[in-house]
Amino acid sequence: MHPHQTDHAFVSALGVQWLHRPVPDQPGLAALLAHEALDADQQAAVVQAVGASVAAECAAHGYHRMDLVVLHPATAGLQAALQRFDQPHTHADDEVRYILDGEGIFGFLDAQGQERVVTVRAGDYLRVPAGVEHRFTLTAARRIKALRLFTDTAGWAAHYTQRPVGALEMKE
């Protein structure tokens, strides 16, 4: 599924890079991604399988590390984490997500407080520049696996803007 033109124009105007890039067809990757939960070794195998496909982005933007975030209904503390993610915030560093499985909902806010809500699915690659106000939740499926790229994990600390907004709706 490709982003709607109006959604794409809105997020592009904020400086967000939103591309569709098929998940690499690496041996064993689809089988790993089919598991709801992944242990540390399985997560490392996914990162290794996908890492080469984002090497150019890492070099271009100075991303030195990558890891995999795996959220599913049995994730410890999931509801509390989603409540934090759903509050409008910014980061001091880019937030990069390459969705490998599942789906989520980003809300992007412009300087006037207008929000555009977009659903991301497997194959969506987003680079949210430092300082762009956004929030996130899962869809009703309540699962996602996303590769994260970063220069320094300290840049990921959320700076909450306290902008009043309603909760993002979990879509079917």
Contacts 24+ apart (CB under 8 A), 154-160: 154/92, 154/93, 155/91, 155/92, 155/93, 155/94, 155/130, 156/91, 156/93, 156/95, 157/91, 157/92, 158/84, 158/87, 158/89, 158/90, 158/91, 159/89, 159/90, 159/91, 159/92, 160/87, 160/88, 160/89
Averaged over 27-48, what is the pLDDT? 96
Q: Which fold has domain 5-154?
A: Jelly Rolls (2.60.120)
Question: Is residue 119 a contact partner of residue 104, using CB atoms and an 8 Å limit?
Answer: yes
- In the chain, domain spans: 5-154
Amino acid identity at 66: M
- pLDDT of 3 strictly over 60: no
pLDDT digits (tens, 9 = 90+) for 48-89: 999 999 999 999 999 999 999 999 999 999 999 999 999 999
- 3-state secondary structure at position 99: strand
pLDDT digits (tens, 9 = 90+) for 108-159: 999 998 999 999 999 999 999 999 999 999 999 999 999 999 988 776 788 9
